[in-house]
Structure 1
């Protein structure tokens, strides 16, 4: 496998330079380790997906198959990598996207592919879009370019590992490699390349809590299709791990797959933006967010490589990301208050707030009784330890309240 991957890596240089492997001083100091970031957010399409697409196209064209149309179904990074490669090889491609795809993603895909691609918006959900793409391929004798479940795609993603091996300081071998998991193409490729170099326990896989397809499948012993997924981490929200990918990963232990709360990922995104000026998409922040889930003593003085898988982030999502990050950090909470309907009641409540407590949301909901009213209030603070003290003051004052911060149904509906 190594020889083929290294050939693919050399061929890929005609498309883009190797992405940097950077020692991150901030994270290294934070965890007492040597933390390297493999910056796949710096490819021409800001994700590693371009690698698998390029390798797939390269092999088909080398075998004389360039006369057919290439097809993919994707609403994200795979579509953009596919489009870029179509333009590079000057071959026609059709991208199927759900009708619900944000215009920004449609525009970026069109920009990368130019005259060589056609975009078709079909279906409200990805499954409908994918089915339409498959039908098109069969009717037009085209090539379906899968996002992860294909040997050539896996080989292309494995070039990430070939670059890491070349870019690490001489004599340095990583103690830990942290990989984000969606469909499993990147993880299958990287672990396969390092098979003879690193121990199996040197790998940690990161999935969002809302899409644990790899962890569930390993724990079960066979591929499991999740009944539903949380699409917030859209680059890794996959209901079913790829068949070839699972075959390559099923021997790992289930405890090597860590599940990351979506709000924890948001906290990492905000930290990297504010401290490092690095823009990451939710899936791109998965590997870095995982560091907080690991035993600090197990990290100390170790050499750790985190694959930063992408940076295609729509800044219209930033308020939601910041909101989730603050809630996860314990710096923002939401309450339903039951206040007496009398003059001075609101003033009495405000006097309960501490000097660092700030009202971020205040909304009168309804008059639930003649003598009492309900209020939705959001409170931000600088120190999470302020909230236990604030709630104690609420209790002492006999104030009726309910903390709805972690109530997902109410939070999605009201907040």
Structure 2
């Protein structure tokens, strides 16, 4: 062993004062589906439903050890990091000031307040996270607090490595592959640092959301760079710039081992795990499972561990998740249909629908035209190929239509 591995083992042992190891569970459904031995490291079952409690605990513990008088900790977060910091503040009985964007869902604010109790204060500042972060850092300097970084901190990375320590302790041999979600890189850097020593033969796969590929951008540039625009749907991993310290650990990752997960496809994984397995995953927590299809040929017959990094899912988002999953899988589409303004035109259209086709949306967009009226129509069906049959009938009947399912601008206004 080396110094990092020894420290990771000691750090993990200290965490037992705060919470029990999260389960490592073999998943029979996924194992059968991919003809592999697939295990889930259930970080969604930690006390704060994510792995973030680990880094927050280790960083705060080390600060308190070096400076027992430090009793003010500050962070900026709209989600899991805030909840982990709040939980640990109460554990150490210190003060925490947590800055969150004004737009943070009430559910996340309430959960953070519940975990921290009287030990924390929540300040809602800024419409965007960059504004929130700047306010938190300014306050921290003025108030003499210690700023707890969500990922780009050596003690946080060390704390996240405990995921790998627990993983190996629960297996009777090293896994062939570990699949890790990547946002700022704290989890993946910590796990890699430990496995490089204790299980160097294990292959590591890193998964980023397509709309927040900060590791991919950094690998291309040879250093961390800031992505101009990110899709915040995968809020637990959509980071505009990977950490400097974390990239130093991940910089040698091969391109074939860094995968991008489309946001709509992630929605399919969330629904499948909820409906089939009863497992609630947030978008970032579903990343590692989401790429199993891409890895099918590489994982057959192998032991694979997927780290399900979080389960803080707001069920008010479920309709959006279902909608995006259906559109990605091709069983739901939206059209603008030019409907003749004559008796029986609607009936003619309805008779073209197949037995598995269902109208989910029907709205006239223009009612004043003399000969034609434009209709926004949303259709659901049981299989994507059913749309080919319907469109063939529409073409034969000389109906004019436009598929706007993937037209981002029109969809924002009309759907």
Scaled by the length of structure 1, the TM-score of the pair is: 0.97
* Cα displacement (A) at 1:209: 0.7
Residue pair 1:340, 1:371 contacting (<8 A) in 2 also? yes
Which of the residues 67, 70, 74 maps onto 1:71? 74
Residue in 2 aligned with 1:30? 33
Deviation at 1:368, TM superposition (A): 7.0
Q: Deviations over 1:374-396 (max 9, x none)?
A: 00001101122211111111111
Distance in 1, matches of 2:61 and 2:40, equals: 28
Q: Counterparts of 2:71 and 2:120 in 1: how far apart (Å)?
A: 13
Deviation at 1:199, TM superposition (A): 4.9
Alignment of 1:355-370 (within 5 A): 355-367=355-367, 369-370=369-370
Report the equivalent of 2:245.
244
What whole-Å deviation, never above 9, does each CA across 1:287-333 have from its counterpart, x for those lacking one? 00011222x22121011000000000010000000011111111111
Match of 2:123 in 1: 120
Please say if 1:283 is aligned against 2:277.
Answer: no
Q: For residue 190 of structure 2, what is the aligned residue in structure 1?
A: 189
Structure 1 stretches lacking a partner, 5+ long: none
| 1:201–1:175 Cα change, 3 Å | closer
Write out per-residue CA displacement over residues 54-110 of structure 1, whole angstroms, 9 at most, x where no aligned residue. Answer: 000111111133433100001100000000000000011100111111111111111
Aligned to 1:91: 94
Flag structure 2 segments of 5+ consecutive residues without an equivalent.
none
Change in 2 beyond 3 A, CA 1:374/1:201:
farther
* Deviation at residue 123 of structure 1 after TM alignment: 1.1
Q: Where in structure 2 are the equivalents of 1:243-282 lying within 5 Å? A: 243-282=244-283
391-400 vs 87-96, greater mean Cα deviation: 391-400
Partner residue of 1:353?
A: 353
**Conserved in 1, the CA contact under 8 Å of 2:40 and 2:306?**
yes
Q: Distance in 1 between matches of 2:70 and 2:220?
A: 44
Quick one: distance in 2 between partners of 1:196 and 1:281? 31
CA contact 2:184–2:239 (8 Å) conserved in 1 = yes
Match of 1:150 in 2: 153
Distance (whole Å) between structure 2 residues aligned to residue 352 and residue 235 of structure 1: 44
Normalised to the residue count of structure 2, the TM-score between the two structures is 0.97
Alpha carbons 1:178, 1:304 under 8 Å: kept: yes
Quick one: distance in 2 between partners of 1:355 and 1:228? 42
* Equivalent in the alignment of 2:212: 211
CA contact (8 A) 2:5 2:198 kept: no
Deviates more, 1:62-71 or 1:239-248: 62-71
In structure 1, the partner of 2:338 is 338
Q: Against the structure 1 CA distance between its residues 161 and 392, is the aligned structure 2 distance closer, same or farther, given a 3 Å change threshold? A: same
1:230 corresponding residue in structure 2: 231
Rounded Cα–Cα distance in structure 1 between residues aligned with 2:151 and 2:89: 18
Q: Which position in structure 2 is the counterpart of 1:316?
A: 316
| Alignment match, 2:23 | 20
Separation in 2 of the partners of 1:211 and 1:309?
16
- Separation in structure 1 between the aligned mates of residue 16 and residue 142 of structure 2, nearest angstrom: 35
Q: Deviations over 1:110-161 (max 9, x none)?
A: 1000010011111111111111111111111110000000000000000000
Tell me if the contact between 1:176 and 1:202 (Cα under 8 Å) persists in the aligned partners.
yes
Contact 2:43–2:308 under 8 Å retained in 1? yes
* Residue number in structure 1 paired with 2:306: 306
1:260 deviates by: 0.6
